[in-house]
Amino acid sequence: MLHDPRTYSNPSEFNPERFLANDGKEPETEPRTICFGFGRRICPGLHLADASVWISTAMSLAVFNISKVVENGVEITPELDSTSGLISHPKLYKCSIKPRSANAVTLIQQDVNY
């Protein structure tokens, strides 16, 4: 359902802007309305999953700067490619992950020693 070209234009393309209304065009259907099921069969862990991903992302972005990798003075834009199968995952790509500050390093080290 999430890869149906009648519902999503270019469904295999990563395009978060498709869910925003702009230029008088209506946004495409939000995937959360489908991916966790609906009606009597809705996933009971929907809110737990949503909150877990949100807090994990917020904690990572609070202490790390994540950006494209720079090689020989050239910023490398990774190609978005995913594995095939029942559950697809992005294939490995290079990126730059650096602590935001000395305080961030301290927080990270505290978590590692926990």
The tally of CA atoms less than 13 A away on the side-chain side of residue 110 is 7
- What radius of gyration do the chain's Cα atoms show? 18
pLDDT digits (tens, 9 = 90+) for 68-83: 999 999 999 988 788 8
Write down the pLDDT at residue 113: 67
Smallest Cα–Cα separation from 37: which of 28, 45, 29, 25? 45
Asked whether 59 and 52 are in contact (CB, 8 A), the reply is no
Return the exposure string of 7-28: e unless at least 16 CB atoms fall within 10 Å of the residue's CB, then b: ebeeeeeeeeebeeeeeeeeeb
pLDDT less than 50: residues of the chain: none
d(CA 36, CA 45): 9
| Structure confidence at residue 86 (pLDDT) | 82
Domain ranges of the chain: 1-35, 48-113
